[in-house]
Amino acid sequence: MKTVSEFHSLNASTALVSVWYRGRRLDLPEGANLAAALLAVGITSFRETPVSGAPRGPYCMMGACFDCLVTIEGVTRQACMLEVSAGLRISSLADPQGGQDAL
Amino acid sequence: MHCDLIIIGAGPAGMAAAATAAQIGLTVVVLDEQPRPGGQIYRDVDRVAPLRGDILGRDFTEGTALTAGLDHPNIHHIAGAVVWSVEEAVSVHYTRAGQSHRVTGKRILLATGALERPMPLPGWTLPGVMTVGAGQIMLKQSGLVSARAVLVGAGPLLYLLAVQMLRAGAPPLALVETQTKGDALRAIRHVLGALHGWRDLRNGLAMLYELWRGGVPRYLAATDIAIEGAAHAEALRFVSGGKAHRIAAGSVFLHHGVVPNTQAARTIGIAHRWDAGQACFAPELDVWGQTAVKTVFIAGDGARIGGAKVARVAGALAALQIAQQLGRITAPQRDQKARSLVRRLQAERAIRPFLDAAYPPMAQALSPQDNTIVCRCEEVTAGDIRRSAQLGCLGPNQAKAFCRAGMGPCQGRYCGLTVSAVLAQENMRSMGETGYFRIRSPIKPVTLAELASAEDTQGHE
Ligand SMILES: Cc1cc2nc3c(=O)[nH]c(=O)nc-3n(C[C@H](O)[C@H](O)[C@H](O)COP(=O)(O)OP(=O)(O)OC[C@H]3O[C@@H](n4cnc5c(N)ncnc54)[C@H](O)[C@@H]3O)c2cc1C
Ligand code: FES
C-alpha cells in the first residue's frame, strides 16, 4: 500500500477523528469527504476487482463509477459519497462483516 | 410527502427551476445526493467560496446567488437524498441516512446533469487515474490538489482545472491535448456564431494566456496515449509532434467532454436520439423540456450539453411551463416571462457549436485497441466486444449477455457510449441504429434494510 500522498492540502488544519481502515487506525479530518481524506493520507487503492483482483481507487468522485467501493458495517458503500465521522470502521469488499450487499 | 414539483438535482438547472416555481407559488421538493447544494459546477459553493474563491474564480463563486434562491418557504431541499427510482405516475423514491422514502407530486423535473464522457485508454483503471471533473471536485470540495499531475484530453474543463491548479500553487506537469489541426479548421466555420458568445471566447483565451504565462507545457494533437504503472499510475506515454514522450506522474486526469446523464430518464422509457454534433444520446424534449411522458421534464446538461448558464435558463423555462400546466399562471403570463429567457438561452448557446467542433472526443478513446478495458466494472475489453459483434451481437443489450459489458454497479455510465460505438463500428451501423443499454431501477443501489425501513416511515410522511 502506498502511503505517501500525491496530494497537497490547501486546508487550514481541522479537527481530526479516528477511523479504522482495514484494521489500521487513521486520523482523518471530521466531516471531510471520505474518499478524498483517504487519498490525502496516501491510500489510493480502495479495493480489488472481483474479476482479476486488480487494484482500484476513486475515478469520478461523483457517485457514478462505483470504483471507490468500501464496506462499512457490512454494507457496500461509495467512499466518495460519505463523510468522515469518528469511529467509522472501513473494510475492503473482500472481507465484508455480515454480507449485507446492495441490490 | 406530497408537493407540486419534485426536482432531482440541485445544480444550476434544478436550483433555478425551484426558485422560479416557488416564486409563482408551487410547492417544490428538491432532492440531491450531495450533502450541500450546487451541482457539479458550484459544488459546495456556500462553504467553499469564502475558503478558496480566489483560486476557483468568479464563475464558481457566483453560484451563491443560486443557492440563496433555495431559501424560500415553498422549497424543501432534502440534501443527501439518493434517488433510486422515478415513476411517471408521479413519485420518486430515495434513500437518505439508511432509510428509503417516497415523495409524490404532480410533475418531476430531472436535473441530474452530465457525466464525463468515457475515456478508455490503456491503464485508465489504475489507481491515480481520475477524471478532470474528479480532480476539480477534490480541489473544490476538499481543498486537495495533486502534486504531480498530467491532464489529458480536450476541452475547456481541462484548461479550467489547469488554471485552478496553477493558482493553487501546484501547476500540472503538462497538458496533453488530443484535438487536432483538422478540428481547429472545422471549428472555424462556427467562429462567427461563437462571437455572440464573446465572453466565453474571451474567458477561454484568458485561460490559455494564464497557462502560457505560468509555464505549463502543452503537447498538442497527442495520439497513442497510455498510462503506465503496476499498482498505481506512474507515467504517461504518448506521441505528439512526431515524437514519443514519457512523463512520470502521480496523477493522471482524463477528460474529453461531458455527455448527458440519461440514467433516470431511460428507466421510464423516455426516447433518446443520437446527437451527432455533440456525439452523445440526448432525450427527446419539446422547447420547455417536457418529455413524451407528460409528467416528466428534463433541464440542464442532462437534456443537452450547454453549461451552467444554459442549464439555469432551461430550468426556469421548465418551471414556467409546469406552472402554466398546473393552472398557476396563464399561457400569456408564461410567454411574457419566457421571452427574455429564450433570448438569453440563444445567446448562451452561441459558443457551443464552436466548442463541440474545436474539442471533439478523442479518436483513440472512441475506438480503443483490443486489449483496452472498456467496461471498468466487469473488466471487459474492446476486443471482447468486437468478438461479440463477430458472433452476431448487434446492440448493447445483447452485449451484456455475450460478454457482461454494462452488467456492473455503474450500469454502463462509464462504458455505455463506448460499447455502442465499438458495436456500431464493427457492424457498420449508425449509433442511432445500434442504440444504448436499457436501464432499469434502481439507478442507485438500495439495500434490503433500506427498503424494509420504507414501510415503517411511509405512514408518517
Ligand atoms: C464532474 C464535473 C465537473 C464539472 N465542472 C464544471 C466547471 O467547473 N465549470 C463548468 O462550467 N462546468 C462544469 N461541468 C459541466 C456541468 O455539467 C455544467 O456546468 C453544469 O453543472 C450543469 O448543470 P446541471 O444543473 O444541469 O447539472 P449538475 O450541476 O451536474 O447537477 C446535477 C445534480 O444532480 C444530482 N444527482 C444526479 N443524480 C442523482 C440521483 N440519482 N439522486 C440524487 N441526486 C442526483 C447531482 O448530485 C448533482 O448535484 C462539470 C461537469 C462534471 C460532470
Ligand atoms: S469515485 Fe466514482 S463512485 Fe466514488
**Cβ of residue B446 closer than 8 Å to a chain A Cβ:** yes
Pocket test for ligand 1, best of B20, B36, B41 (most atoms within 8 A of CB): B41
Weakest-pLDDT range from A4-18, A43-57, B65-79, B411-425: A4-18
ipTM above 0.85, yes or no: yes
Instruction: Give the angle subtended at the CA of A73 by the CAs of A68 and A75, to the nearest 5°.
Output: 55
Tell me the pLDDT tens digit for each residue of B354-371. Answer: 999 999 999 999 999 999
Mean pLDDT of A43-72: 95
Are A40 and B442 inside 8 Å of each other by CB? no
- Minimal CA separation from B252 to chain A, in Å: 10
Task: With a cut of 50, say whether residue B289 has pLDDT above it.
Answer: yes
Q: Of A94-103, B67-76, B297-306, B435-444, which gets the smallest average pLDDT?
A: A94-103
Query: Does A43 contact chain B (CB < 8 Å)?
Result: no
Least confident of A3-7, B50-54, B379-383: A3-7
- Please give the interface size between A and B, counted as residue pairs whose CB atoms are below 8 Å apart: 134
What residues form DSSP beta bridges with A16? A29
In this prediction, residue A3 has a pLDDT band, given cuts at 50, 70 and 90, of low
Contact flag A6-B137 (C-beta cutoff 8 Å): no
pLDDT at position B447: 86
Average pLDDT for residues B122-140, to the nearest whole number?
97
B228-279 per-position pLDDT tens digit? 999 999 999 999 999 999 999 999 999 999 999 999 999 999 999 999 999 9
Looking at chain A, which residue has its C-alpha nearest residue B408?
A66
Res. B457 pLDDT band, cuts 50 70 90: very low
The answer to whether B211 and B174 have CB atoms below 8 angstroms apart is no
Neighbours of A72 (CB within 10 A): 17
The pLDDT, as a whole number, for residue A94 is 58
Q: Does domain B2-115+259-329 have CATH number 2.40.128.50?
A: no
Distance between Cα A69 and ligand 2 center (Å):
8
**C-alpha–C-alpha distance, residues B424 and B403, integer Å:** 16
Query: What ligand is nearest to the CA atom of residue A33?
Result: 2
A16-91: CATH architecture: Roll (3.10)
d(CA A80, CA A40): 13
Q: What is the pTM of this model?
A: 0.96
Of residues B189 and B367, more confidence is placed in B367
From the CB of B311, is ligand 1 less than 6 Å away? yes
Q: How many other C-beta atoms can be found within 10 angstroms of the C-beta atom of residue B51? A: 15
User: Is the per-residue pLDDT at A11 higher than 60?
Assistant: yes
Closest CA to B87 of B114, B105, B112: B105
Q: Are strands B107-110 and B5-8 parallel, antiparallel or unpaired?
A: parallel
What's the rounded Cα separation, in Å, for the pair B222 and B216?
A: 16
**For ligand 1, is residue B301 a contact (CB within 6 Å)?**
yes
Q: Is B67 on the interface with A (CB under 8 A)?
A: no
State the DSSP string of B3-52. Answer: -SEEEE--SHHHHHHHHHHHHHT--EEEEESSSSS-TTTTTTHHHHHHHH
Mean pLDDT of B123-147: 97
Whole-angstrom CA distances from B34 to B77, B243, B452, B460 are 11, 44, 23, 24
Atom of ligand 2 nearest to the CA of A69: 4
Across the range B366-388, mean pLDDT stands at 97
Which amino acid, B152? V
pLDDT over 80 at B300, yes or no: yes
Mean pLDDT of chain B: 95
Contacts of B143 in chain A (CB under 8 A): 9-11
Domain ranges of chain A: 16-91
Distance B299 CA to ligand 1 centre (A): 12
Q: Alpha-carbon distance B13 to B287, whole Å? A: 15
> What is the distance between the alpha carbons of residues B278 and B55, in angstroms, rounded to a whole number?
30
Query: Helix or strand or coil: residue B69?
Result: coil
pLDDT over 50 at A1, yes or no = no
- pLDDT at A63 exceeding the cut of 70: yes
Cell numbers found for residue B20: 422560479
d(CA B291, CA B271): 8
Q: Cα(first)–Cα(last) distance of chain B, in Å?
A: 5
**What is the percentage of chain B residues whose pLDDT exceeds 90?**
91
CA quadruple A10, A13, A64, B83: dihedral, nearest 10 = -130
Domain B118-256 classification at class level? alpha beta
The whole-number pLDDT of residue A103 equals 42
**Side chain identity, residue B423:** L
The Cα B449–Cα B119 span in angstroms is 36
Which chain B residues contact residue A55 at CB under 8 A?
A: 126-127, 231-232
CATH code of the region B367-434 = 1.10.10.1100
Same fold, B118-256 and B367-434: no
Residue B315: the pLDDT is 98
Q: Spell out the SS3 assignment of B211-241.
A: HHHCCCCEECCCEEEEEECCCCCCEEEEEEC
Mean pLDDT of B31-54: 96
CB interface of B with A, residues 257-316, below 8 Å: 261
CA terminus-to-terminus distance, chain A = 30
